[in-house]
A and B are shown apart, each in its own frame.
Chain A
Amino acid sequence: MDIERQQEIAKQAAATTPAHSSDRPSVLAALQRENTDWAGEVIQAFGEITIVVPRGRLVEICTFLKTAPGLEFIMLSDLCGADRGPEEDPRFEVNYQLFSVTKHYRLRLKVLLAEDDPHVPTVTGVWRTANWHERETFDLFGVVFDGHPDLRRILLPDDWQGHALRKDFPLRGYEPYSLT
């Protein structure tokens, strides 16, 4: 391998060194500086930051996190729902795993939803990859993403009854499913 190539690799490696954990609270600070209501409860555990955000401001917050210089969470790694159980209130949560392509750190946003009002605004306008994730969460949990361009079931058949990943849905279903 020639020297230039080696130097190039070394430069690449230096450019992609992970951000130190001391940089991470700056995300939180930036959020609070922008608007004090945005960051609700903040959980720092297992080396990860989770911010519980109010449902109504979700799209605003996501847009800010995506575009603000120094943050640039331009990739949505993952979006998944979770059910805390029928006796809990709020019952559902939707988790957004954000990834900053330039700074290489991760952040989790969490929205809590009550059982009788499982609506959350869509973030497909911010990250288009959210499209299938939101369809999956709708399919399995029954969380409705308002404003989604194509909110249909994705994994289960269109005529499926119920939402399979809810805690009160039995493991083997209510009755044998037949395609005919």
Chain B
Amino acid sequence: MAATLPPQFEVVDRPLDTQMTISMGPQHPSTHGVLRLELVLDGEMIVKCTPDIGYLHTGMEKLFEYKKFQQGIVITDRMDYLNPLGNNLAYVMAVEKLLGLEIPERAQTIRVLMCELQRIASHLVWLGTHALDIGAMTVFFYCFREREKILNMIEAASGGRLTPSYFRIGGLMMDLPAGFERRCQQFIDKFLPAVDEFHTLLTGNRIFQRRTQGVGIISAEDAIDWGLTGPSLRGSGVNIDVRRTDPYTGYEQYDFEVPIETGCDVWARYIVRMRELKESHKIVRQGLGRLQPGPIKADAPKVVLPDREAMKTHMDALIHHFLIVAEGFNVPAGEVYHAIEGSKGELGCYVKSDGGPKPSRVHFRGPSFINLSALPLMAEGEMIADVVAIIGSLDIVLGEIDR
């Protein structure tokens, strides 16, 4: 009987006191989606951990090749669905690099502003679910209360809460709506007390400290060798942030700190993200102060859709509108790799064009994908309950891993 079963179900005759293989996921709630881990256990200790991914693979990179450049933006929303504006930005900036577009000041400021709001929203989901995984349920509700305000703002600006597609090649979809600045100001005025509230709920909690300190250790050398980026790398004491090493959209003009912790464990990564919340808040505050009236689209009529009013009154604008929508625009042949600092790490976008209106190849370097590949290194030798804490500390999104 056993011989006819597929190998993974084969009954292996072992004495009770030796190792046991269990399959964790893909429906396990604390694997943040559809991640499956194959764990070899010795008692409660993990001997071997093999992540199995691909359950959410939807062939996005294939789909890019069949869509025009501007149509690809909506696909990026669906990759890392907690940081869609970051994905938009990586893709849009890569294409803009190929086209050589100059983005107006106001559009750049709004991009920074929205990206940092999105980073806060993404970190809030991480904080809520990470605490929930470890058993602290209350934090989740407090985080989602704050996140709701950000999603409402993103909805007001773009019309979408999770899939905004707000950044377009050459600028923005549209300008910020009336009253946005007041709303944003109200949010940031109340945000710092909210962060302190999270700290009182979680940081001083002895159970949370014991569950996270000294768990999931990865040294700085290993972290770099495994390609970890973002808060997961900075929790190991490496000072790398793409906003500093390769500034884009004017990040070099903002005053913020890159939080570094040297603990190398789950706790250090937690502290890094908690401090990043405050740094992002600082950038949002500066961005609001920098907002000046001005154009939000680049001066490139063959690439950027004209304003509605111009389209109805000017013949050339109408022709450009028709051509962009019907045929797309040609992008010079070549290849670029553009990296931005997403909420989870270095989000890179490789775009290759052969001169036509559709890309020849689009590849996303998803930070979750790389960070997850280092999971076995962190999990092996730990207890099975700690895997949940380690996965939480990596802040993975399966939509981006499987693409």
Interface residues of A (CB under 8 A from B): 9, 12-13, 15-16, 18, 45-48, 50, 74-78, 80, 82-84, 95, 97, 101, 104, 106, 108, 127-129, 131-133, 140, 153-157, 164-165, 167, 169, 171
Contact = CB atoms under 8 A, between A and B. Distances in A.
A141 B106 CA distance: 41
Contacts of B270: none
Nearest to B97: A46
A77 B348 contact: yes
B240 to A, nearest CB: 6
Nearest to A127: B225
A101 B98 contact: no
B67 to A, nearest CB: 11
Contact of B350 (A78, A127, A154): A78
Contacts of A15: 239
A30 B39 CA distance: 45
Given A12-B258, A13-B244, A171-B62, A77 B339 contact: yes
A78 B337 contact: yes
Contact of B63 (A76, A83, A84, A171): A171
B245 A18 contact: yes
A77 B242 CA distance: 12
B384 interface: no
Contacts of B245: 16, 18, 104
B224 A97 contact: no
24 contacts: A9-B257, A12-B257, A16-B244, A16-B245, A46-B97, A47-B97, A50-B335, A74-B224, A77-B227, A77-B365, A82-B361, A83-B361, A95-B337, A97-B337, A101-B224, A101-B240, A106-B246, A106-B337, A108-B335, A129-B225, A132-B369, A140-B61, A156-B54, A165-B62
Interface string B226-247: 1100000000001111001111
Contacts of A84: 360
B337 A48 contact: yes
B53 interface: yes
Contacts of A101: 224, 238, 240
A46 B336 contact: yes
A75 B227 contact: yes
Contact of B239 (A16, A140, A169): A16
A166 B363 CA distance: 13
Nearest to B334: A45
Contact of A164 (B62, B334, B335, B370): B62
A1 B360 CA distance: 50
B244 A46 contact: no
B352 interface: yes
Nearest to A97: B337
Interface of B: 53-54, 57, 59, 61-63, 65-66, 97-98, 100, 224-227, 238-241, 244-247, 257-258, 334-337, 339, 346, 348, 350, 352, 360-361, 363, 365, 369-370, 373-374, 402-403
Given A48-B336, A129-B227, A132-B370, A155 B402 contact: yes
B107 to A, nearest CB: 20
A95 to B, nearest CB: 7
Contacts of A95: 335, 337, 350
B401 to A, nearest CB: 9
A115 B317 CA distance: 45
Contact of A154 (B53, B59, B63, B66): B53
A18 B365 contact: no
A155 to B, nearest CB: 4
A129 B337 contact: no
A80 B64 CA distance: 15
Contacts of B224: 74-75, 101
Contacts of B360: 82, 84
Given A78-B348, A132-B369, A154 B54 contact: yes
B140 to A, nearest CB: 30
Contacts of A104: 245-246
7 tightest Cβ-Cβ pairs between the two chains A and B = A129-B227, A78-B365, A80-B363, A132-B373, A104-B245, A155-B54, A82-B361
Nearest to A130: B227
A128 to B, nearest CB: 5
Contact of A129 (B100, B257, B348, B373): B373
A121 B54 CA distance: 25
A140 B238 CA distance: 33
A133 B402 CA distance: 12
Nearest to B244: A16
B61 A108 contact: no
A125 B369 CA distance: 19
Given A77-B227, A82-B352, A171-B66, 20 more contacts: A12-B239, A16-B245, A46-B97, A46-B100, A46-B336, A48-B336, A75-B224, A80-B363, A80-B365, A82-B360, A83-B361, A95-B350, A97-B337, A101-B224, A101-B240, A127-B227, A129-B373, A153-B54, A156-B57, A165-B61
Contact of B226 (A16, A78, A129): A129
Contacts of A80: 350, 361, 363, 365
Nearest to A169: B62
A131 B373 contact: yes
A99 to B, nearest CB: 8
B76 to A, nearest CB: 16
> Looking at A97, A132, A171, which has the most chain B CB atoms within 10 Å of its CB?
A132
